[in-house]
Structure 1
Amino acid sequence: MYTNDTLGGLLNATFGNATEMIISAFAMIQARRGDEVTRRTYLRVVQLSLLGSVVSNLLLVMGTAFIAGGVRHKAQTFSQAGINVNAGMLILATFAIVMPSMLDATHTEGKDNVSELALSRFESIFMFLCYCLYLLFQLKTHRHLFEESSTPQTPNAAAGIGALAGATGGSLASANGTRGPSLNGSLTPPLGPAGADGLTDAELGVPRPGNSSVDGRGELLSGAGRYSGRGLAVEMTDKVRERTSSGRSAGKGADRDAVERLPLVLAAEGVEGMSNPDDAHPGSVGGSDDEDELVLSKSGCFMWLTGVTIIIAFLSEFVTDAIRGASSSLGVPMPFLTTILLPIVGNAAEHASAVVFAYKNRVEIALGVAVGSSTQVSMMVVPFCVLLAWTLGLPLDLDFSAFESTVLFGSVLLAVLVLQDGQANYLKGVLLLLTYFFIGAGFWCHKDRMLTGDS
């Protein structure tokens, strides 16, 4: 089944987060059946697993995706418009989740958590509505902000364009003969045949659009020979300088006119492969991979997803029943198990898909999976669990400890910062992964009396 990158990332995130929702629902069912200690334990498991899911997607999934993409590509670019919207949603969710914790730290009433519970339920209603509005914004009214360009362009391609534009006096033209804006912002006239005082395209060695093609290595083929982006720029520029210096171009503007007629072939569909042939994928144009083969129909996809969801629902009850026993038998602290290990298992599908997409230079959809999933968990899954617990008569709130609130705030802050320049590379992935390792070590040492059953 084929979808665009926006919808594809959303579907990956949604069905990936179905695991968290199902496990949380079964944990709350177990809490309702048990005594007071069991109820507190399972509600705490729900809280920490949701916190761990947000942190895992922002740091672990996005970090490994950046590293996987950085191994194959020097740098990858993505649209900042859609990412900035997700960043705003994450900051809003962080503020809403931290508010009950701050209220708990500053109130003077008894420790019955009535105020925190009321505030959590109030916030959850509007967070859920805000996420619905976000879906309308993303999929309908402003979908262009989240759509990926047809040819992913790396910084190497932009460097190739800048080099050729600088060599030709800054004018930009496309391969089909239309003139684009120059570096100074002015528009230059369309390409036309050379005058008596100028240089013809044949003299410059410039291939015509109808007689040129891009081979599997991203190089331009024409009757003039085989050119890479850099070689073509140098050869055309040398010819202009040679002809103009020998006096063949007469008239005050002849030199400028001759230069302005150079078509910017690097702006064509094969720009990425020509500017950096090493990054071009075999048998592709512009560094993009071959089209994915259609494996399943739409009905087949949803049948498989429904079947897998039913299996997950069946297994989730065993997972929730085995959490405390696994912690004791494996010697793993409960905070680490519920905040680190459980979300990793739940996010395994999203993790794998984000890494694969990033490796294929589809960083937009990889971010849609990682960042979009974090947005969905914080703005939809967390409020859903609070409201579901409310209907079940369970006091699930957003009152996290100071340590946990700091972890959430720091994770969102770092993720927003590394996304601000619109580029992904392996160093940013390393920073995200190291932060996640530090958080994991912190939860290994974290003591939580509600999880141990102590009063």
Structure 2
Amino acid sequence: MEGIREEEALGGLEAGSLPSKPSNSNSNSNGHIGIGNTSTDTSGPHHHHKPLSRHGRTAHSLSAASLRKKSDVTLLTKIPCLGLRNLLINLQEIFFNTKLFFLFPFVVVAFVFFFLNLNQGWIFAVSLVGLVPLAERLSFLTEQLALYTGPTIGGLLNATCGNATELIIALFALHKGQIEVVKWSLLGSVLSNLLLVLGTSLFAGGIKHLRRPQIFDKKQSDIGIGLLFVAGLCHLLILVYGYGYASTETDFFPSNQLEMSRVCSIFMLVVYGMHLFFQLKTHSQLFDLEEGDDGNDAVDEEEQPVLTWWSAFAWLVFMTVLVAVLSEFIVNTIEEASQYWGLSVSFTSIILLPIVGNAAEHAGAVMFAVKSKLDITLGVALGSATQIAMFVVPLSVIVAWIMGVDMDLDFKLMETGSLLMTILVTAMVLQDGTSNYMKGAILLFCYVVIAVCFLAVRSPTLGMIPDGNLRTSLSTWRSLSA
């Protein structure tokens, strides 16, 4: 029996997956076996890959983990063909250990609609829904890689890849020269996290715990709010600079909004890098997340890798390619889809795109709030908003600079005003370290008001050509004015 178990363990590694139950054998004589070893015995001298400790995981990864379920591979282990058996185990871990597996058919439907050249509005819709499970799988695969790297590198991977979907969409939109879509979608992600996600979470948690206020650690929220104020200040100064001082020439400072935006973006990236060092190294104890024992040990089990390093890496590349293709579908069809559904492009980019694209992490944040784990909920909402505002937005400006596209930090008056007021309202709601359903309702009402305003917006400048000059779509303008 021991020989059979050892053969199954070796076969699983060769196929790129790990056995669901680790063997009792402590054999580790083969050099490559240690890469996929799931044994929890840390006493031996050859144990090089310890599972990621709790403080190496971010709230975003914990939120995504709440949507996963344990894979039952009992029947698959009875398949006589070793290669087929381990391939099927691998596929089950990737596609069926998530509660969102029923959304994977939308990915296939998006490709079918595209190749059949069907209505652009439906291509946009199914591509957007198809991104939901892919975004969760990106988080899962990133965490699998992080389990082999230790808490610091693993925490860095989780912290920087939490909003990979938004970054990929932004890069494709920049490649197409659609600067306004980039700005609107990134602004919408920040507003969605601070008002919709946080508001829904606080409201649901407050209703669940109606008789007592929920308490959270203010130290984390203070850091996140401070970084958001830095981002808001940069956007405000660029806006004001464009109105009053953009034409002023000096020997020491940039002479226009574009150059000033690039300078501010560099400083924003430096500040975000300092934040990661602060979070992962010098003050990691402030960001430790205790999930607690509530009878659901799915998150704890995820700390043991279920894929080998190379298998996780290969699947991560594959999923990233799928996200990139669907992102291109979305960028190419967003204007036509907006016309088809009778919506403005600004509303589609700021409201619909972030709601559907971030649905997985939104659901996880609400679930933790209902369980009265607001530290994780705040980590998801504030962490994602901070990463978008302080990392993805300035990185997009720098990448656009490299590509020769003139993207700046001027998000226009209503957009910048919405961002600043959102940060202020969020800061006021979180100032005392307690929560109730009324605070959640305030955030939700603010989001509804902003959504209604952008629903009424009709802009003729829906795109940008690669050299950065405004391009007015006459046909779109006529259809919107009709």
Per the shorter chain, which TM-score range? 0.5 to 0.7
Which whole-Å CA distance do the structure 1 matches of 2:59 and 2:291 have between them?
16
- Name 2:332's counterpart in structure 1: 321
Q: Do residues 409 (structure 1) and 420 (structure 2) align?
A: yes
Describe the SS at the equivalent of 1:450.
Answer: coil
Describe the SS at the equivalent of 2:219.
Answer: helix
RMSD: 2.5
Name stretches of at least 5 consecutive residues in structure 2 with no aligned partner: 1-50, 65-158, 249-253, 464-470, 474-482
Deviation at 1:454?
Answer: 3.3
Equivalent residue in structure 1 for 2:180, among 35, 41, 44: 44
Deviation at 1:4?
Answer: 2.6
TM alignment of 1:370-409, pairs within 5 A? 370-409=381-420
Cα contact 1:49–1:342 (8 A) shared by 2? yes
Cα contact 2:189–2:385 (8 A) shared by 1? yes
- Name 1:98's counterpart in structure 2: 236
Deviation at 1:432?
Answer: 0.6
TM alignment of 1:7-406, pairs within 5 A? 7-11=57-61, 14-31=160-177, 42-74=178-210, 75-107=213-245, 109=247, 115-148=256-289, 288-292=294-298, 294=301, 297=305, 299=307, 302=312, 305-406=316-417
Which whole-Å CA distance do the structure 2 matches of 1:95 and 1:374 have between them?
15
Describe the SS at the equivalent of 1:109.
Answer: coil
Deviation at 1:346?
Answer: 2.1
Which whole-Å CA distance do the structure 2 matches of 1:371 and 1:289 have between them?
27
Report Cα offsets for 1:180-238 as digits up to 9, x if no partner: xxxxxxxxxxxxxxxxxxxxxxxxxxxxxxxxxxxxxxxxxxxxxxxxxxxxxxxxxxx
Closer, same or farther: CA 50–143 of 1 in aligned 2, 3 Å: same
Closer, same or farther: CA 5–108 of 1 in aligned 2, 3 Å: closer
Describe the SS at the equivalent of 1:449.
Answer: coil
Which whole-Å CA distance do the structure 2 matches of 1:437 and 1:308 have between them?
33
Report Cα offsets for 1:30-66 as digits up to 9, x if no partner: 22xxxxxxxxxx1110011111111111000111111
- Name 2:21's counterpart in structure 1: none
Closer, same or farther: CA 72–14 of 1 in aligned 2, 3 Å: farther
* AA of the residue aligned to 1:67: F
Deviation at 1:101?
Answer: 0.8
Cα contact 2:195–2:447 (8 A) shared by 1? yes
Which whole-Å CA distance do the structure 1 matches of 2:324 and 2:256 have between them?
33
The percent of aligned pairs where both chains have the same amino acid is 40
Deviation at 1:426?
Answer: 1.5
Deviation at 1:393?
Answer: 0.4
Cα contact 2:246–2:255 (8 A) shared by 1? no
Describe the SS at the equivalent of 2:297.
Answer: coil
Closer, same or farther: CA 414–318 of 1 in aligned 2, 3 Å: same
Deviation at 1:308?
Answer: 3.2
Please say which structure displays the higher CA radius of gyration.
Answer: 1
Cα contact 1:104–1:116 (8 A) shared by 2? yes
Normalised by the size of structure 2, how large is the TM-score? Answer: 0.60
Cα contact 1:6–1:368 (8 A) shared by 2? no
Deviation at 1:7?
Answer: 2.4
Report Cα offsets for 1:157-177 as digits up to 9, x if no partner: xxxxxxxxxxxxxxxxxxxxx
Q: Do residues 443 (structure 1) and 454 (structure 2) align?
A: yes
Cα contact 1:21–1:381 (8 A) shared by 2? yes
Closer, same or farther: CA 450–410 of 1 in aligned 2, 3 Å: same
Closer, same or farther: CA 395–18 of 1 in aligned 2, 3 Å: same
Which whole-Å CA distance do the structure 1 matches of 2:370 and 2:462 have between them?
39
Closer, same or farther: CA 149–345 of 1 in aligned 2, 3 Å: closer
* AA of the residue aligned to 1:375: T
Closer, same or farther: CA 108–421 of 1 in aligned 2, 3 Å: closer
* AA of the residue aligned to 1:21: L
Report Cα offsets for 1:266-301 as digits up to 9, x if no partner: xxxxxxxxxxxxxxxxxx6xxx45433625626469
Closer, same or farther: CA 410–289 of 1 in aligned 2, 3 Å: farther
Higher RCO, 1 vs 2 (CA within 8 Å, ≥6 residues apart): 1
Closer, same or farther: CA 69–5 of 1 in aligned 2, 3 Å: farther
- Name 2:70's counterpart in structure 1: none
Which whole-Å CA distance do the structure 2 matches of 1:342 and 1:314 have between them?
16
Cα contact 2:344–2:459 (8 A) shared by 1? no
Deviation at 1:109?
Answer: 3.1
Cα contact 2:199–2:444 (8 A) shared by 1? yes
- Name 2:430's counterpart in structure 1: 419
Report Cα offsets for 1:326-360 as digits up to 9, x if no partner: 01111111111111111112222221221122122
Closer, same or farther: CA 364–103 of 1 in aligned 2, 3 Å: same
Cα contact 1:355–1:366 (8 A) shared by 2? yes
Which whole-Å CA distance do the structure 2 matches of 1:6 and 1:425 have between them?
29
Deviation at 1:144?
Answer: 1.8
Which whole-Å CA distance do the structure 2 matches of 1:6 and 1:429 have between them?
29
Name stretches of at least 5 consecutive residues in structure 1 with no aligned partner: 32-41, 152-283
